[in-house]
Homo-oligomer: A and B are copies of this chain.
Amino acid sequence: MTSELHPLDDALALQPAGPGQFAGRTTPSYWNMVGPFGGATAATLLQAVMQHPDRLGEPLSLTVNYAGAVAEGAFTVHATPVRTNRSTQHWTLSIVQSGTDGAPAVTTTGTAVTAARRETWSATDTPMPQAPGPDTLEPVPKGLGVAWLDRYELRAVAGGLPQRWDGGGDNSLTQFWMRDAPARPLDFCALAGLADVFFPRVWLRRAHRVPAGTVSLTVYFHAGSAQLAATGTGFLLGQARAQEFRNGFFDQTAQLWNEAGTMLASSHQIVYYKE
């Protein structure tokens, strides 16, 4: 019997390569235009934390800075727990590749916090928006020219890709039902990837395509592994909007709920755009 490896698990395969170092390589499945999909890179950094033998607790926050494109091929993830407290642990992260001159080049930097969660008073202040169920909506077409997009099943509730690039956009709000394709039980790494699935807000706001790329991404995890396991292979409702577009950069604020209406993560990014 053979069982086929899910493309995300294939992309996240890391081998121990010394203290705090993990060897990985890019895979075609999550390729974007000049490097891997940023969500896959974020998931890869988090995967190194998850595999680290000294890890305490579960992911609470993750910040990833896209310093340069990860080139096709091998890379090394560095994950160092620089401080461990009673209930939180602070990580510094990076991805390093051999540059064209053979010298090591940092392509990605980051930090993470893992934490031991406790039962406390809890409440939401941002309930899931009303949305028709995923089964009632058409899937966003695949094959739009980048491989990674085919690794997600997306159904647009609002703010899908503009039908016409006519400069007629008037807001930046997108709501997608989303999950890995093929379906895969949700875990922290997959959730980090899903937080970066939204196409550039500037495309929607302007109904105009311009070059754009994430500079820095932060994900806050509100769920523990039990809640992720309970979500299973179900859809998430993801919502994203920009707050400000100014002089070549815009921000994006996003929320991800499971179908039961539990917020699993909130996320933010600052994105470069041209023109």
Q: Which residues from chain B contact A216 at a C-beta distance below 8 Å?
A: 60-61, 63, 111, 113, 218, 220
Query: Do B255 and A65 have beta carbons less than 8 Å apart?
Result: no
Q: A248-B120, A270-B220 are in contact. Are A92 and B90 (CB under 8 A)?
A: no
Interface string of A55-72 (1 = CB under 8 A from B): 000001101010110000
Enumerate A257-275 residues with CB–CB distance to B below 8 Å.
Answer: 263, 266, 268, 270, 272-275
A218 to B220, CA, bound (A): 11
Whether A85 and B109, one on each chain, are in contact in the complex, defined by CB atoms closer than 8 angstroms, is no
Q: Beyond A120-B247, A125-B171, A245-B124, is A83–B60 a contact (Cβ under 8 Å)?
A: no
With A125-B241, A244-B222, A245-B125 known to touch, is A82 a contact of B60 (CB < 8 Å)? no
Whether A207 is near chain B, meaning CB under 8 Å from some CB there, is no
A31 interfacial contact with B, CB 8 Å:
no
Q: Which residues of B contact A117 (CB under 8 A)?
A: 247-249
A to B CB contacts below 8 Å, 19 in the list = A67-B83, A83-B109, A88-B215, A88-B272, A115-B215, A117-B248, A118-B248, A120-B247, A120-B274, A122-B246, A122-B247, A125-B244, A125-B245, A126-B243, A222-B244, A222-B249, A224-B247, A244-B266, A246-B263
Name A's B-contacting residues (CB within 8 A). 60-61, 63, 65, 67-68, 82-83, 85, 87-88, 90, 92, 94, 105-107, 109-111, 113, 115, 117-126, 171-172, 201, 205-206, 215-216, 218, 220, 222-224, 241-249, 251, 253, 255, 263, 266, 268, 270, 272-275
Q: Other than A111-B216, A113-B215, A126-B244, give 9 A-B pairs with Cβ distance below 8 A.
A: A82-B94, A109-B111, A113-B216, A115-B215, A115-B248, A120-B275, A125-B241, A126-B243, A243-B266
